[in-house]
Amino acid sequence: MKLGLGLYKHMLNDEYYRFARQCGCTHVVVHLVDYFNRGQDNRPVDQPLGGLGGWGVAGDPNKLWSYEELAALKAEINAAGLELEAIENFDPAHWHDVLLDGPQKARHLENCKTIIRNIGRAGIPIMAYNFSIAGVAGRIKGPWGRGGAEVVGIEGAENDPLPQGMAWNMVVDEHARGGIVPPATPEQLWQRAKDFLDAVVPVAEEAGVTLAAHPDDPPTPTMRGQPRLVHQPRLYQKLLDLHPSPNNALEFCIGTLAEMSEGGVLEAVDQYSKQGRVAYVHLRNVRGHVPSYRETFIDEGDLDVLRVLRILKDNKFDGVIIPDHAPQMACAAPWHAGMAFALGYLRAALQSVGAAE
Ligand SMILES: [Mn+2]
């Protein structure tokens, strides 16, 4: 297995690439969406949080990620001695009506296809997405970690309705004139996911790109009054079964699986890695589960990380693992310290199960 680091858009520079290499990473996963763009209460010092107004303002709806910029990014990362494994998340500006079943749906499906083609042409193997109306919302943060480290968690779902002009916990229309996004039924949400996969899986196959789905984080059955797609481990299977193609795969977030209320996280790791449908892994630890949990340092919490790695190894997963989130540590560089701690632990753990590369 390979060790990687996820980098937010503002981290795409040589200093962060060197930091990743120094921590033992061979790969990076890149976020091209600027989650922090003009965010009211969301600062770029940690994983994005935000309040009811969301993380920030989504990107330019008319400017898709071009082949040229993706190829240049890959070249820059390769020059730093790293591989670019995946682009994580579409920009809600480019595909919100795929999620909302809105009036621009046909155009937004074409946007997704164009981006997938550009990613494939640039030689980037994976496009990861999170098919979620409300997105990563409703989380709280406090000094609840070991030694008072700042961590995120939840206390119940945030079901204040999603206002018009928001999707995926970002602002997609700053001029929306009030009202709420009508709540979908779970059946409607699954139909939207099927419409999406029907449209993009053939394009991904042709482009040599693996599509990788993140589960809903936090995995509450609803968020902002909207249903969630993958909020129990078994629902990942339903998503895979919508399309048998190996290009329909998973951005396998084991921390989120551990937060799910039905449990069975180790069985889920076995079930999905055995099918060869895990594109890459988010690995972090957590204490508790929906409706109340806290993220923790990777060496504590409810999840037996060494057992997870042994299962992945036994099932011949040889892709990339990234730490996903880490607690903020008390020093001048809280994000770096948290990630370095998690990566050091993961590197030792991979060596101890005989799966380091
Ligand atoms: Mn994750």
Residue 44: what pLDDT?
81
Tell me the sheet residues that pair with 296. 285
d(CA 327, CA 339): 8
Give the phi and the psi of residue 129 in degrees, each rounded to 5. Answer: -145, 165
CA distance 346 to 356: 9
Is the CA virtual torsion 117, 44, 162, 57 positive or negative?
A: negative
- From the list 74, 58, 84, 70, the residue with the least C-alpha distance to 115 is 70
Residue 9's pLDDT band (cuts 50, 70, 90): very high
Burial environment of residue 157 by CB neighbours within 10 A (0 to 12, 13 to 18, 19 or more)? buried
**Distance from the CA of 178 to the center of ligand 1, in angstroms?**
31
* 114 vs 118: CA distance, rounded Å: 6
Q: Contact 163/212 with Cβ under 8 angstroms?
A: no
DSSP state of 180: B
Stretch 21-46: mean pLDDT: 90
Distance 257 CA to ligand 1 centre (A): 9
- Predicted confidence band of residue 17 (pLDDT cuts 50, 70, 90): very high
CATH top-level class of 2-352: alpha beta
Span from the CA of 296 to the centroid of ligand 1 (angstroms): 14
Cα–Cα dist 300/288, whole Å: 12
C-alpha 322 – ligand 1 centre gap (Å): 9
Run of H or E including 91: none
pLDDT band, very low/low/confident/very high, at 277 (cuts 50, 70, 90) = very high
Which H or E element spans position 14?
A: helix 14-22
Distance of CA 269 from the midpoint of ligand 1 (Å): 14
189 exposed, middle or buried (CB, 10 Å; 0-12, 13-18, 19+)?
Answer: buried
Tell me the domain boundaries of the chain: 2-352
**Residue-averaged pLDDT of the chain:** 96
Q: What is the pLDDT of residue 349?
A: 97
Q: Over the stretch 254-271, which tens digit does the pLDDT of each residue have?
A: 999 999 999 999 999 999
Our separate counts of H helices and E strands in the chain read 10, 16
Q: How far is the CA of 234 from the centre of ligand 1 (A)?
A: 17
Residue the block writes with tokens 């042994």: 310
Phi-psi group of 288: left, alpha or beta (phi > 0 → left; psi -120 to 50 → alpha; rest → beta): left
At residue 61, does pLDDT exceed 90? yes
Give pLDDT tens digits for 92-106.
999 999 999 999 999
Predicted local confidence at residue 287, as pLDDT: 98
Q: Enter the pTM of the model.
A: 0.97
